[in-house]
Amino acid sequence: MARSLTVHAFAKINLDLRVLGLRPDGYHELRTTFQSIALADTLTFTRVRGPFQIECDDPAFPGDHTNLIWKAAQRVLALARRREQPSGIRVRVEKNIPMQAGLGGGSSNGAAALQALCRLWKVKTTREELHHAAAKLGADVPYFLEGGTALGFHRGDLLVPLDDIDPAWVVVVVPEFGVSTKDAFAWWDQAKEGQGVRAKNVSNDLQPLVAKRHPIVGKLVRTLIKEGAFHASLSGSGSAVFGLFSRRADAQAAARRLAGPRTFVTPTLTRAGCRRLAAK
Ligand code: C5P
């Protein structure tokens, strides 16, 4: 029986994001295109004696039951109809995906933990059961079970896989502040009351609302386009902004000129690429 298992949990960007309305459950009806990128956290699951533990060098990363990895462990036990609390595993997280950035780091960790713990605890599930468990963890957790290029409807959890986009290089710039997804959607609700939410030439409906509170966001999008990106936008509810480039050298040159402590150059990943690299 393997003592440990190491997996990579990839980040995503939203190539576009339309908010279509408020749902009766308080969530928002979305239409968004998810795209995996190679920026990833590394999660190592090791069998230990004693309680479930989550370890990370980043003190801001919660190590308790509020962490989606912990919640994933509870979901896996529930799928196995086991009533006990998670135990016997230490999860070491090498955190590379910035938090509160709209890059799906927490959700990706949750999806990776669901799959890894099903393997380690030998819990057999159908695809539907796993998808359902993922959707309970968070609206975009199911996407991370698939990866690649996919359309997300409903809360972002009804997925339609798309053909992979042509490979591109992504410059991701993460400002020093984070944005809470809940807050960004509340700003959308407020703006809707005053109507006129959708701005021209903006592919993410949350971008103008975030840029209004944090003008650097709009500035970064404009700078990325000026630097030669063929597409640039806020990712999810931010705070990360990304630009797409066909050539790596152009992406690197743009990143150098943008020079910030949290600027990354990373390729897009296909669905097959996500699968192949996840367990490497
Ligand atoms: O599902 P998750 O916990 O990731 O969502 C965080 C928050 O973002 C929700 O509590 C909700 O306020 C908001 N949200 C939303 N509509 C969505 C996804 C998220 O209103 N489709």
User: Does 185 score more than 70 pLDDT?
Assistant: yes
- Taking residues 110-119, what's their average pLDDT? 98
For the cut 80, the answer to whether the pLDDT of residue 193 exceeds it is no
Whether 229 shows a pLDDT value over 80: the answer reads yes
Sorting pLDDT into bands at 50, 70 and 90, what band is 27?
very high
Go through the chain and tell me how many residues it has.
Answer: 280
Active-site positions?
12, 140
Nearest to 166 by CA among 52, 16, 15: 15
Average of per-residue pLDDT across 16-32 = 96
Residue 254 near residue 171, CB atoms below 8 Å: yes
CB 239 within 8 A of CB 177: yes
Judge whether 113 and 130 are in contact, CB under 8 Å: no
- DSSP 8-state code for residue 138: -
Number of neighbouring beta carbons within 10 Å of residue 112? 28
Q: Which atom of ligand 1 is nearest to the CA of 106?
A: 4
Q: Is there a single domain that holds both residue 143 and residue 203? A: no
State mean pLDDT over 184-190.
95
Q: Are residues 66 and 202 in the same domain?
A: no
- Report the pLDDT value the prediction gives residue 259, as an integer from 0 to 100: 81
Atom of ligand 1 nearest to the CA of 141: 4
Does 24 score more than 80 pLDDT?
A: yes
HEC profile of 87-107? EEEEEEEECCCCCCCCCCHHH
Pocket of ligand 1 (CB under 6 A): 27-28, 30, 138-139, 155-156, 181-182, 185
Candidate from 181, 183, 188, 190 with most ligand 1 atoms within 8 A of CB, to mutate = 181
pLDDT digits (tens, 9 = 90+) for 124-160: 999 999 999 999 999 999 999 999 999 999 999 999 9
Nearest CA to ligand 1 atom 20: 27
Q: For residues 155 and 200, state if they share a domain.
A: no
3-state secondary structure of 174: coil
Same domain as 196, residue 67: no
- Do 150 and 196 lie in one domain? The reply is no
**Structure tokens, 36:** 């995996």
CA distance 63 to 212: 33
Question: Which tens digits make up the pLDDT trace of 47-86?
Answer: 999 999 999 999 999 999 999 999 999 999 999 999 999 9
Which residue has the CA at smallest separation from atom 9 of ligand 1?
Answer: 182
* pLDDT of 169 higher than 90: yes
Confidence of residue 197 (pLDDT cuts 50, 70, 90): low
Residue nearest atom 15 in ligand 1 by C-alpha distance:
27
The mean pLDDT of 191-211, rounded to a whole number, is 82
Same domain, 73 and 109: yes
Which residue, by CA, sits nearest to atom 4 of ligand 1?
138
Per-residue confidence (pLDDT) for residue 207, from 0 to 100:
97
Do 127 and 257 belong together in one domain? no
Q: How far apart are CA 230 and CA 243, in angstroms?
A: 7
- Taking the CA of residue 155 as reference, the ligand 1 atom at the shortest distance is 21
Please check the confidence at residue 224 and state whether its pLDDT lies above 90.
yes
User: Which residues are CB-contacts of 110 (< 8 A; sequence separation ≥ 6)?
Assistant: 68, 69, 71, 72, 134, 137, 138, 141, 144
Q: How many CB atoms lie within 10 A of CB 5?
A: 18
237 CA from centroid of ligand 1 (Å): 10
Average pLDDT over residues 260-273: 95
Hey, what are 41's tokens?
Answer: 């956290």
Which pLDDT belongs to residue 279?
A: 84
Q: Which atom in ligand 1 lies closest to the alpha carbon of residue 138?
A: 1
Q: Is the pLDDT of residue 196 over 90?
A: no
147 in Cβ contact with 179 (< 8 Å): no
Is residue 203 pLDDT above 90, yes or no?
yes
Please indicate, yes or no, whether residues 249 and 222 belong to a single structural domain of this protein.
yes
Number of domains in the chain: 2
Decide: helix, strand or coil at residue 45.
strand
pTM of the model: 0.96
Q: Which of 58-67, 198-207, 230-239 has the lowest mean pLDDT?
A: 198-207
Please indicate, yes or no, whether residues 118 and 145 belong to a single structural domain of this protein.
yes
| 58 and 189 inside one domain | no
76 is in which domain, residue-wise?
Answer: 4-163+272-279
Residue 257 has pLDDT above 70, yes or no: yes
131 lies in the same domain as 182 = no
